[in-house]
Copies of this chain bind each other. A is one copy, B any other.
Amino acid sequence: MEFIEMLGLIAGICTSSSLLPQLIKTVKTKEAQDVSLMMFVVLLVGNGLWIYYGFDRSDLPIILTNILSLGLNIAMLVFKYKYGHK
């Protein structure tokens, strides 16, 4: 792996990991009523488009980090559905 690809992957881990605090909080509290559904839907669309873009450009860091983000976002949407209404 090239140096610049490794740098891209580190960049992706930094920006993807920003989703973790919300996910951990929701798992702990089992409450998701105050979480914005629209924000996670917009993020999901964004991740999907980045993955398409990454494949078009054959850009591995973009593909891998957006698949990671997509997974975290889908987990968040599942918790939103599960804990979002009483």
Q: How many residues of chain A are within 8 Å of chain B by beta carbon?
A: 30
Taking a contact as CB atoms under 8 Å apart, the answer to whether B18 and A53 are in contact is: no
Q: Please, what's the 1-or-0 string for A5-44, where 1 marks a CB less than 8 Å from any CB in chain B?
A: 0011011111101100100000000000000100100110
Main secondary structure of the interface of A (DSSP, over half): helix
Taking a contact as CB atoms under 8 Å apart, the answer to whether B8 and A49 are in contact is: yes
Q: Which of B11, B36, B39 contacts A50 (CB 8 A)?
A: B11
Taking a contact as CB atoms under 8 Å apart, the answer to whether B7 and A53 are in contact is: yes
Supposing A49-B7, A49-B8 touch, asked if A14 and B39 sit within 8 A by C-beta, the answer is no
* A21-B35 Cα distance, complex, nearest whole Å: 11
User: What is the CB-to-nearest-CB distance from A39 to chain B, in angstroms, rounded to a whole number?
Assistant: 6
Taking a contact as CB atoms under 8 Å apart, the answer to whether A53 and B61 are in contact is: yes
